[in-house]
Structure 1
Amino acid sequence: MPDLLALPDFLTLTEPWMVRIALLLVATLFVAGVVGLASRLLGRLAKHTPTHWDDALQKSARRPAQVMVWLIGLALVSDTLNRRFPDPLFERIDAVRNVGLVLCLAWFLVGFVKRIIEGYALDQQQRGEDFDRTTLDALSKFLRLVVVIVAILVVLQTLGVSIGGVLTLGGIGGIAIGFAAKDLLANFFGGLTIYLDRPFAVGDWIRSPEQSIEGTVEHISWRQTRIRGFNKNPIYVPNALFTSLIVENPSRMSHRRIKETIGLRYADFDKVAAVVAGIRSMLESHPAIDSSQTLIVNFNTYGASSLDILVYTFTHTTAWVDYQAVKQDVLLKMGEVVAAHGAQLAFPTQTLHVELPDAFDIAH
């Protein structure tokens, strides 16, 4: 009577190929565990170093390295099975392994480039040094794009596809693709123009007098730019639009302007000169006003109900909140100057002249 508790032949490892497969799987599992343990230890050591290179290297290589170990181990197992059970399917395992290794290397490089750029930006920010976020983003995207393109070409070469034929086909088909995706290409080159000319950067406040676009730039991609409006709504602008759009960048202003018109009563005509001199003196001595810039205080025109004085000057600050505080202080002090000279601010008035009839007309 056969032993019902006996193990099947494929579990008894009585065949050499079974032993080889078992050893390969155990070895692969062991090496993957060692790689993971070494990665964690290196990660702990990297935290105590002042540079970001080792952190980026450890975090970027951890997953791809483990996947590469399993690819190599499973490829060896497949080779053993192919020797025992020949099949055309196993003959493609080497190509699959090579493709997987190339993709793992590209995975590592893409992550490494991204983390290096982010680490550099964080390091500059912690030191309080200025850096161009837009340029760093463009450099990171360009390098990752190069890695992806090279990886695709290597994968095609590994699969037996002629690179020369692909490039030739790309040149012929590029015309058709260009017509079909002209908007996409226009946005791409518009983004490239932004990265090269840098009319604005991430964090800048921009606006367009031609379109209802105003807000803070949050993100610049190859296809579109995301702007956060002052009402906190996101605005997505295709990059191609910036090649023909007039864009103002108030974030790069050197000063903020105060331009006001102060009206005095016609009854205070004899005090206009003194008020003008007093306001000019106040502005020249004001600590928040840049007297080296254009400063104009002049009697400007005879208004409908006032004698108008033009006040034109610039503040040191460009911050919106601080500017509003400076402007308020200047307006209040101008009112004090007017009051100190015994004059009053004018407001819209009308004088009505009534012509009474003479006695002869009344009698008749």
Structure 2
Amino acid sequence: MDRFLAWWQQSAEGLNFDWLEHVGLMLGAAAIAWLVWRLVFSKLVEVSKKTRTQWDTIVLQALSTPISVFIWLWPSTFAIGSLMDASAKVGTDWLSVSRRVLLIVLMLWVMLRLVNAIEAYLSQSDKRDQTTVSAIGHVMRLLLAFIGVLTLLQEFGISLTGLLTFGGVGGLIVGLAAKDLLSNFFGGLMIYFDRPFSVGDWINSPDRNIEGTVERIGMRMTMIRTFESRPLYVPNSVFSSIVVQNPSRMRNRRINETIGIRYKDADKMGVIVADVKKMLETHPDIEQNATLMVNFNAFAGSSLEFFIYTFTKTINWARYHEVKQDVMLKIVEIVHAHGADFAFPTRTIAFDRDDGMEAQIPLNPELAPAPDKN
């Protein structure tokens, strides 16, 4: 603090206080420009609300704060320059660099706000794939950050050629040290581009104990909500080496059941099969453009079996079971309507008897029935 006071007293001896007028004019002009901008901005917002498109509103939101900051900071750099020029002992070369850096930072800020606003707008629509929207947003932010860092380094006089040469060697070292992190990053990119699943899909893997609903696809890992409502965090690199099923993208759900009737109802099998098939062909919840089969299938140990093979229109799990229940109950009605019934496991033992031979076989006294004392 003492050094600053000593520097100020020494510098103030040769100061020309005309710079105060310049600073006042610049800050006053900045205040007027800011008020004009706020007035114009409010009018533009009112006009944008009356248009059919949302893109004008998105652009205005992205420009609002950065332009306000620019209106105040840009004249302030000239005001600081006037103060520095008043002191012969203080250089002002760094101000030109600061102005260029300010312009670069503000432009990057506008672009980032624009990317975020567009991503938020597109995410509100159910017609667009949320995974793709999120992926493009991540890539654009990384690209802007990379361009911004390189531009700022060049403004500060750092050679990009040497930096990129060093980056090649350094990138190899970092890549070997963080191979898992990089594999998860590129695994996330493959999910974004290949789109085996999206946010909201129900997935499962026969190779791993993974099943649930996808809630978030990050750049390093994917969060899945299991059917027990537990969060499951899976590194993205895992999905490049396992098989993933996506039941959410099914077109239909299958009903594949085998039904057995009694052997003594064999003469009714033909009409039962015909009526069941007719019922399925007229059922409002059965997909008629998919495979539909009802056929006598096998002579089982205790029953004559026929099978039904068809598909429902719905893929919703709960609704599918309601349709399947309705189909099965209608089959019960058809079987009973024809005087038949369903079989259950039974065993029949048949004896071939020869009365003449049986009379000549002596009966073991121990096996003879006890005499009736009554």
Q: TM-score, normalised by structure 1?
A: 0.84
Tell me the secondary structure at the aligned position of residue 50 of structure 2: coil
2:274 is aligned to 277
Q: Could you say which residue in structure 2 is the equivalent of 1:148? A: 145
SS at match of 2:330: helix
How do residues 128-167 of structure 1 correspond to structure 2 at under 5 angstroms? 130-167=127-164
Residue 67 of structure 2: which of 60, 65, 68 is its match? 65
> How far did residue 248 of structure 1 move?
0.8
Which of the two has higher C-alpha Rg? 2
Are residue 56 (structure 1) and residue 58 (structure 2) matched? yes
Shift of 1:304: 5.2
Tell me the CA shift for residue 33 of structure 1. Answer: 3.2
Q: Summarize the alignment of residues 244-255 of structure 1 with structure 2, pairs less than 5 Å apart.
A: 244-255=241-252
SS in 1 for 2:213: strand
Is the CA contact (8 Å cut-off) linking 2:85 and 2:91 kept in structure 1?
no
- Give the equivalent residue in structure 1 for 2:171: 174
Q: What one-letter code is carried by the residue in structure 1 that aligns with 2:47?
A: L
Aligned to 2:210: 213
Q: How many percent of aligned residue pairs carry the same amino acid?
A: 43
Partner of 1:4: none
Q: Which amino acid aligns with 1:164?
A: T
CA contact (8 A) 2:291 2:311 kept: yes
1:186 is matched by which residue type in structure 2?
Answer: S
Deviates more, 1:342-351 or 1:216-225: 342-351
Q: Deviations over 1:44-103 (max 9, x none)?
A: 221111112211111001111112222212211221121123556754333333223211
Give the aligned partner of residue 310 of structure 1.
307
Offset, 1:14:
9.0
Quick one: structure 1 residues 120 and 87, their matched pair in 2 at CA, closer, same or farther if it must change by over 3 Å?
A: farther
1-structure distance, mates of 2:22, 2:153: 32
The match for 1:21 among 23, 33, 38 is: 23
Q: Which amino acid aligns with 2:184?
A: N
Give deviations 1:6-44, integer Å, cap 9, x for gaps.
xxxx9xx99212222222223223323333333233222
State the SS of the aligned residue for 1:246. coil
2:190 matched residue in structure 1: 193
Structure 1 residue 118: Cα displacement:
3.8
| CA-to-aligned-CA distance 1:193-217 (integer Å, 9 cap, x gap) | 1222222223322221222322333
Secondary structure, aligned partner of 1:172: helix
Matches within 5 A, 1:68-107: 68-86=70-88, 91-107=93-109
**CA deviation map 1:295-339 (0-9, x unaligned):** 232333454544433222112222333322211110110111111
Unaligned runs of 5+ in 2: 1-11, 351-361, 370-374
| 2:256 is equivalent to residue 259 of structure 1 | yes
| Residue 372 of structure 2 is aligned to residue 362 of structure 1 | no
Aligned counterparts, 1:346-361, within 5 A: 346-348=343-345, 360-361=365-366
Which amino acid is the alignment partner of residue 204 of structure 2? R
Gaps of 5+ in 1: 1-9
The 5-angstrom pairing of residues 292-311 of structure 1 reads: 292-303=289-300, 305-311=302-308
Match of 2:201 among 196, 199, 204: 204
Give the TM-score, by structure 2 length.
0.82
SS where residue 39 of structure 2 aligns? helix
Work out whether 1:331 is the aligned partner of 2:328.
Answer: yes
Moved more, 186-195 or 261-270: 261-270
Give the aligned length. 346
